[in-house]
Structure 1
Amino acid sequence: MVRIFGILIGLFFSGWLLVSFGMGAKEYYTNRPADTAEHAFHQHAKDISFTSDGPLGKFDRQQLQRGFQVYKEVCAACHSLRLVAFRNLEDIGYNEAEVKAIAANWPIPTPDIDPATGEMSTRASLPSDKFPKPFANDVAAGAANNNAIPPDLSLITKAREGGAPYIYSLLTGYQNPPADLPAANQPGPGLHYNPYFANLNLAMAPPIAAADQVSYSDGTSATIEQMAEDVSAFLIWTAEPKLEERHQTGWAVLIFLLIATFLGYLSYKTIWADIKAEKKKKEAEA
């Protein structure tokens, strides 16, 4: 009796779920929500590939150094890299002396007060230090950026849907609003139209605004697209500095598993060969 009662209860709830699902599906297809301007004008990330893409991907150290230069000269004024230490730059091709020189030109605030000026004093960064924040706190960051707090870029390619192609698209996507953009979605004071951003309008002004904004030491032409691609590649590295090691480990593990599977199969054949032969012999004698 208890079993029958339990089955009936289960059938009731299962039927109720099916009815609810059917009613919800009917409501969605008969009264679909109207597309907003964000849906109509928002664009997906541009199709761009990086050398680190795919299971065999590797970083282009020269490109990473160019990307770091773009970050240092363009992005660092507003965006932090709080999870990256100066000494990590050795992984992208800088030697110890170069890392020390880079760190020395990046002052870090200290709790001490300069008695001569009354201002907070600073010290030169050490290779073991993380990249310092460009603002003292979020209040100062918002005040300097139209009340929008610039995000930390350490993991930005992991934190944003679309990853590095999205970052590249955003940096190269600033444009004038289309003529048919609704008035409610027109960029207000201090905002900039960008169809790759979720709500179409960004508080961040175009950071890469013109060609040759950065002078590359390797002779690469510093177009807007090139600078955007280089800094996007650099931010892939900041988010996944061990990407190459992970790829190498993955292939080693895969090869090991294939070999182990083959050896296991041979062991199976060897161990059970005599048993099968003995079983067939007994069956024949019977």
Structure 2
Amino acid sequence: MTKLLSIRVVAILIGIGLAVTVLFWSLVPGVIAFVTEGQAEHLPYEEPRDFDFSFDGPFGKWDVQQLQRGLKVYDEVCSACHSLKYVAFRNLSELGYDESQVKAYAAAKQVPGIDPNTGEATTRPGLPTDYFPSPYPNNVAAAAANNNAIPPDLSLITKARGDGTNYVASLLSGYQEPSAELLAEHPEAAPGPGLYHNPYFPNLNLAMAPPITMDGQVTYDDGTEATIEQMSIDVAAFLTWTAEPTLIQRKQTGWPVLIFLLFATVLAYLSKNQIWAAVKPKKNKKSD
């Protein structure tokens, strides 16, 4: 009996030790990040602006023309540095492009391939089944070309940032010089070498140079005026689609499900009343 009790005590102590170890290792990265990024957290960055997107709200839907404009901005501006590794060319058919247009778009891109004669790595024209290629062969090349900062993949960027769609649109259209008042109160907010001031970025300075620099940088096929803000909004909408292509389908499915659940709840309530209608509660007799 004493031996069994000792084994249980040892097992409990081992369990507590493992729990403390896991808790310690889960907290250490957060503490380090808090200490190293504490300077950035107190800087007065701005919350994203609230733009009006067609897919907002429970009844929202995609603006297909806007998504096509956003693809054009990504293609002519963002793709020079950022990849879309989770998006296949064939997915563009969801934006209103027919099969021939998708094939032509894919064929205009060079994707990694293998030379069948030598077995060496090479490039080839893309196919609809291929995914958007990365502009760099690896992270080392990406960092070398971008002041040691690796440009993030944009496939899921609007889900990886708080208020992602508004954040992307605000960031792209928000580059500016820091104000004299800001620098007087926070001298550390001055952008260092190779950095650019943006009030919507948490530490106010980032390594990405302004990608959209002037009105008319992209020519829209539908005649929409391509202002800096318009291009920022359009590419933010496109990146929302790449992150959540089934967003509208989920919203459209949600309403029938809610109606069904409401109907089922009413039926369950009526059934309960019907089943228990014949059962009368017994009255407690008072003792004399």
- TM-score w.r.t. length of structure 1: 0.79
Q: Are 2:172 and 1:168 equivalent residues in the alignment?
A: no
Which of 198, 203, 211 is the matching residue for 1:199? 203
Alignment of 1:53-92 (within 5 A): 53-92=56-95
Q: How does 1:48-197 map to 2 (within 5 A)?
A: 48-112=51-115, 121-180=122-181, 181=183, 182-197=186-201
Give the partner amino acid of 1:82.
K
Moved over 4 A (4+): 35-38
Q: Is the 8 A contact 1:145 1:204 kept in 2?
A: yes
SS of corresponding position for 1:275 = coil
C-alpha distance in 2 between matches for 1:152 and 1:40: 26
Instruction: Quote the offset at 1:187 in angstroms.
Output: 1.2
Letter in 2 for 1:200: L
Deviations 1:222-258 (A, max 9, x none): 0111000000001111110011111122112111101
AA paired with 2:261? Answer: L
Residue in structure 2 matched with residue 225 of structure 1 by the alignment: 229
Which of 247, 250, 254 is equivalent to 1:250?
254
Which residue identity is paired with 1:96?
Answer: E
150-159 or 196-205: which moved more? 196-205
Query: 2:277 is paired with a residue of what secondary structure?
Result: helix
**Cα distance in structure 1, aligned partners of 2:125 and 2:84:** 17
Matched letter for residue 220 of structure 2:
Y
**By how many angstroms is 1:49 displaced?**
2.5
| Match runs of 1:266-277 below 5 Å | 266-276=270-280
Q: Secondary structure at the match of 1:122?
A: strand
Normalized against structure 2, the TM-score is what? 0.79
Distance 2:180 2:151 in 1: 29
Is the 1:46–1:165 contact (alpha carbons within 8 Å) kept by the matching residues of 2? yes
* Structure 2 Cα separation of the partners of residues 72 and 178 of structure 1: 33
Is residue 2:263 matched to residue 1:259?
yes
SS at match of 1:142: helix
Equivalenced residues, count: 242
Q: Which runs of 5+ in 1 are unaligned?
A: 1-34
Percent identical:
62
Q: Which residue of 1 aligns with 2:240?
A: 236
Amino acid aligned to 1:138: N
Residue type of the alignment partner of 2:152: P
Matched AA of 2:68: Q
Deviates more, 1:39-48 or 1:257-266: 39-48
- Residue of structure 1 equivalent to 2:32: none
Determine if contact 1:105/1:124 at 8 Å carries over to the other structure: yes
The alpha carbon displacement at 1:37 in A equals 7.1
Q: Distance in 2 between matches of 1:165 and 1:158?
A: 11
Q: Deviations over 1:146-174 (max 9, x none)?
A: 11100000000010122111111100110
Give the deviation of 1:265 after TM superposition. Answer: 1.8
Any idea what SS the aligned residue of 1:41 has? coil
SS in 1 for 2:278: helix
Look up the SS of the partner of 1:121 in the other structure: strand
> CA, structure 1 residues 100+219, in 2 after alignment: closer, same or farther (shift >3 Å)?
same
Q: Which amino acid aligns with 1:77?
A: A
Helix, strand or coil at the partner of 1:199:
coil
CA shift digits 1:121-155 (9 cap, x unpaired): 31111111111111000000011111110000000
Structure 1 residues 92-133: Cα deviation after superposition (integer angstroms, max 9, x where no partner): 211111111110111112244999xxx953111111111111
